[in-house]
Amino acid sequence: MRRNSLVVRLLAVAALSASVAACRQDMHDTPRYEPLEATTFFANGAASRQLVANTVARGQLNEDRHLFEGVVDGKPADTFPMPVTAAVMARGQERFDVFCSPCHGRTGVGNGMIVQRGFRQPPSFHDARLRNAPVGYYFDVITHGFGAMQDYSTQVPVADRWAIAAYIRALQASRAATVDDVPADRRADLARPAGERREQEAR
């Protein structure tokens, strides 16, 4: 009798374990649609849905036109939407070297490596037209592209576009700079080799 009772208990435990395991597996295999997969549930047959009309996703309410479009009063902005700090300039140089220098060159004259290999040469940032262009123009071109240049809105975030524009302004200013424009406490650095200066700045 006791043996039969033990067998019944073991069978009950086994059945319970199997049901729990099955439930857990069902949770792992919850029905879902892969991106761009077809479905018969919606009338247009697409499982991927458009945003609901007249709604904005969290974090995408880009109301500040100066920051997100480079525009002030309907015109390209002449000012930056944030303080241009040493950190912003360093970020702008880094992003410029990654995304811009292959065409525009490290100094912005339009002699990047792919230009040297036959790609169409862009204008120099030091031409009068571009020296006089507002910073919002650079933001717009990075965002939407221009001529043979593709847009970089996907690759370069908004803050980095402004940082690049700030660095372009620094490149332009450097062409007309004189020793008097260098802070007095840094003028001695001009006599040192460039490699030594970079090594010192990296410390």
Extents of the domains making up the chain: 65-202
Cα 121 from Cα 104, distance rounded (Å): 8
CB 157 within 8 A of CB 99: no
Cα 80 from Cα 44, distance rounded (Å): 45
Rounded alpha-carbon distances, angstroms, from residue 117 to 78, 114, 123: 35, 5, 16
Tens-digit pLDDT string for the chain (203 aa): 555 666 566 666 666 565 555 555 666 677 788 888 999 999 999 998 888 888 888 878 888 999 999 999 999 999 999 999 999 999 999 999 999 999 999 999 999 999 999 999 999 999 999 999 999 999 999 999 999 899 999 999 999 999 999 999 999 999 888 888 888 888 888 777 766 655 665 56
Q: Which amino acid is at 114?
A: I
Residue 114 C-beta-side C-alpha neighbours within 13 Å: 10
In this prediction the pTM is 0.69
Question: Strands, E, within the chain: which ranges?
Answer: 71-72, 75-76
Number of Cβ within 10 Å of residue 68's Cβ equals: 16
CATH number of 65-202: 1.10.760.10
CB 35 within 8 A of CB 48: yes
Enumerate the β-bridge partners of residue 38.
46
Q: Which region, left, alpha or beta, applies to residue 34 given φ > 0 means left and ψ of -120 to 50 means alpha?
A: beta
**Cα dihedral: 155, 109, 115, 156 (round 10):** 0
